[in-house]
Amino acid sequence: MRQFWVSVHRYAGLSMTVFLVIAGLTGSVLVFREELDAILNPELYQVSPPSREAELLDPLAIRRQLLDTYPQLHINWITLQPRPDHALNIRVQPPEENTDLDFDEVFVNPYTGEVLGTRMWGRISDGKENLIPFLYKLHYQLALGQFGTLLMGVIALIWTLDCFIGAYLTLPNRARATSRARSFSDKLKNQWRRWKPAWKVRWRRSSYKLNFDLHRAGGLWIWAMLFVLAWSSVAFNLGQVYRPAMGLAFEFQDVRRDFSPPEQPKTSPAISYAEARAVALNYLDGNEQHLTDQPVRQLDYTGMSYFPQFGVYHYRFRSERDVDEDWGRTRMYIDGNSGEVIALYLPTGAASGDTLTTWLITLHMAGVWGLPFKIFVSVSGILLVMLSVTGVVIWQRKRSARLRSGRRPTGGASKTKPSRA
């Protein structure tokens, strides 16, 4: 049975190698994606106040100004928390009848509303200005669109299962390890004594043993992080598998059950973005938390958008229910006609499945514990590449050994020494 799982681990690893190398290398860089993007494109990101007394403009006023300049655009998502030294990044899209728009991202000076630049996110032919967005697309979908997203989701699912197979294969043979043990504690001690070498690297042994130890011990030392990266990747790319699987044991909030979608998408809501924001702030400041058992406090703004297919505004902010230090995932939904708050999504504390998913996603994105954890996640990406490469080397060496063994003469001929000239 163990040999069967060895074969499964071997061929699962070989099938994933290229994908995990790409994901590991790009992921180790994308941990610092915002900082690197700003360094590569200072003309798009860097701003300074025109005077000491200058104040940041209301992002919704910038939205209106931008629509006046580009009336053919749709601007659904708008960030509500501009930074004093950072351009306001706004994602846009053309109307369906206008597909010739050459950009989908606009960078605006938050003090003046001036457009600093535009780009088509992820188009690598534009050069360094799209290097980080292209790496992002390469990371989660191999820059292959929806097919790539699905493919990487399948790979992540195989990777998740293989995490457990790989960990199992590092365990010693239980029968041999415990055959002389008399009590349960003795069995545990014997088991650990035999398993302990799997956590060590024999640095001064042969290259084969060093490669094998790096593969085995490296996988054990960062196993928990590898599992987090793998299963959260399934959550990102293969929700049709992740959600039902997690739903077997955990509960999830379903805010959309409170929506009453119109028969046709409602592109022009009765209330404006500013009015919807006022509804959200009044709801939060007025402590009218009738949708939750406990009050929810807003710590920081995040942004808002409008969903015409549901006729609702989506107001997003960071609350005490968030774990991400920079990005709020608490969401409020407001009816675009009546202005009524119809649903509230809490990232933690409301449903166990959402709490676990929030932590998985936040750990994947290195959104907690500051710079030390970002460095750890980045190093984990590099170690993932190392594990993939060492796994291929192990397979190649064993395959070469089997081929050499198959070419050796058998029977009596194997004992005949070749004559020397």
Closest CA to 212 of 224, 204, 220, 201: 201
What is the DSSP secondary-structure string of 220-266?
HHTHHHHHHHHHHHHHHH-HHHHHHHHHTTS----GGGG----SS--
All structural domains of the chain: 38-139 (3.10.450), 253-350 (3.10.450)
- Which has more pLDDT, 81 or 152? 152
Q: Express each pLDDT in 300-316 by its tens digit.
A: 989 999 999 999 999 99
CB-count burial class (<10 Å; 0-12, 13-18, 19+) for 159? buried
* Least trusted range by pLDDT, from 112-126, 144-158, 260-274, 404-418: 404-418
| 23 Cβ neighbours under 8 A, 6+ residues apart | 139, 152, 233, 381, 384
pLDDT at residue 295 in the model:
76
CB-count burial class (<10 Å; 0-12, 13-18, 19+) for 58? middle
- The whole-model pTM stands at 0.88
Element (H, E) at 44: helix 42-45
Q: Express each pLDDT in 2-19 by its tens digit.
A: 899 999 999 999 999 999
Q: Is the pLDDT of residue 375 over 60?
A: yes
Band (267; pLDDT cuts 50, 70, 90): confident
Which whole number is the average pLDDT over 343-371?
Answer: 95
pLDDT at residue 192 in the model:
87
pLDDT at residue 291 in the model:
63
On whether the CB atoms of residues 313 and 90 are closer than 8 A, the answer is no
Q: Express each pLDDT in 78-137 by its tens digit.
A: 999 888 999 999 998 876 655 667 888 999 999 999 999 999 999 999 999 999 999 999
